[in-house]
Amino acid sequence: MGRRRGIMSHQLKEEIAKELGFYDTVQHEGWGGIRARDAGNMVKRAVQMAEEQMRADKS
């Protein structure tokens, strides 16, 4: 199977990792070095950002 295309842009992932405080790990170990909890929190934050954007677009 081919590599799946990511839904989040690389820039967005980096922004969220910085916000959540584990970007240093990403820089040193790559995305595979983050904890499952960090990955889950990153997805939660991305969903939250998308919901905020949808609310703003409705206004």
Tokens for 15, please give them.
């922004």
Tell me the pLDDT of the chain (59 aa) as tens digits.
456 667 889 999 999 999 999 999 999 999 999 999 999 999 999 999 999 999 999 88
Residue-level pLDDT at 4: 63
> Which residue type sits at 53?
Q
Residue-level pLDDT at 59: 81
How many whole angstroms from its chain centre is CA 58? Answer: 24
Residue-level pLDDT at 1: 44
Distance CA 9, CA 40 (A): 16
Residue-level pLDDT at 7: 81
